[in-house]
Amino acid sequence: MAARSKNSMNRCCNRYGSQRLHVNVRRGVWVALVLALCIAIPSAKADALRLLALGDSLTAGYGLPQADGFTAQLERALADEGLEVKVINGGVSGDTTAGGRARLAWLLGDSPEDRPHAAIVELGANDALRGLDPANAYDNLDAILTELKNNGVSVLLAGMLSPPNLGQEYVTEFNALYPRLADKHGVLLYPFFLESVAGDRSLNQADGMHPSAEGVAEIVERILPAVKQLLRKTP
């Protein structure tokens, strides 16, 4: 009788031990899955494409809340397309092509981990407004595109148009800068950043020069296909 009781107890203990082993195994699998997810989620964010918008007040979002500026609206538009992209605001109000050239190295940073994968270059409007020599603007943009290329950064060049009051010779020379540079460097060209916004009072702020939030939305909608094409070309 005592032997049978002892055998029954052993079978019970073995069965309980086996059940506990299965529970522990299952628990271990769940723990491993949770840990894997915890590791994968930050990695996905770390792997998000970084898109630098190098420009002037049009990029910086002059006169607008941060959420209504170009980079913020573009980032949301890309997210709506299912694209995880961090759009970096590299705009400085009043900046010329020379100013953008001077600060590009700082924007690229010292570490490859911080370097943008792609860039939109939107500069030149202030050069034209000040009547600066188009040849200097060409040289500055040429240097910017060269440095971006040397750092493995894909580029979308956003063109500008000269105000007509500077004379036909100036207008012709300035407006030809962007196609020439795009052809020389083999980069994508968006011909006019302010397409359908420049001159439209309903899409600009009171100064008539800087887009309103609605104007920025129009710019983003129009440039978005070119930006998506840029991202497809980006490693």
Q: How many CB atoms lie within 10 A of CB 154?
A: 20
Domain housing 37: 1-47
Number of domains observed in the structure of the chain = 2
Told to judge if 212 belongs to the known catalytic residues of this protein, a careful annotator would answer no
List pLDDT tens digits, range 185-210. 999 999 999 999 999 999 999 999 99
Instruction: Specify whether 153 is located in the same domain as 182.
Output: yes
Instruction: Specify whether 76 is located in the same domain as 22.
Output: no
**Are 42 and 53 a contacting pair, CB within 8 Å?**
no
Instruction: Specify whether 116 is located in the same domain as 127.
Output: yes
Per the residue annotation, which of 57, 154, 162, 212 is the catalytic one? Answer: 57
Instruction: Specify whether 30 is located in the same domain as 116.
Output: no
Calculate ∠ Cα 158-164-167, nearest 5°.
115
**Are 228 and 81 a contacting pair, CB within 8 Å?**
yes
pLDDT at 101 over 90: yes
Averaged pLDDT of the chain: 86
154 forms bridges with which residues in the sheet?
Answer: 118
Helix axes 177-185, 168-175, angle to 10 degrees: 20
Band (pLDDT 50/70/90 cuts) for residue 34 is very low
Told to judge if 57 belongs to the known catalytic residues of this protein, a careful annotator would answer yes
Instruction: Specify whether 108 is located in the same domain as 176.
Output: yes
Told to judge if 8 belongs to the known catalytic residues of this protein, a careful annotator would answer no
Among 45, 46, 47, 90, which residue's Cα sits nearest to residue 70? 90
Looking at residue 28, its pLDDT comes to 47
Instruction: Specify whether 145 is located in the same domain as 69.
Output: yes
State percent of the chain over pLDDT 70: 80
Per the residue annotation, which of 117, 154, 162, 210 is the catalytic one? Answer: 210
Looking at residue 112, its pLDDT comes to 83
Instruction: Specify whether 12 is located in the same domain as 124.
Output: no
Instruction: Specify whether 68 is located in the same domain as 184.
Output: yes
List pLDDT tens digits, range 35-64. 333 333 333 345 689 999 999 999 999 999
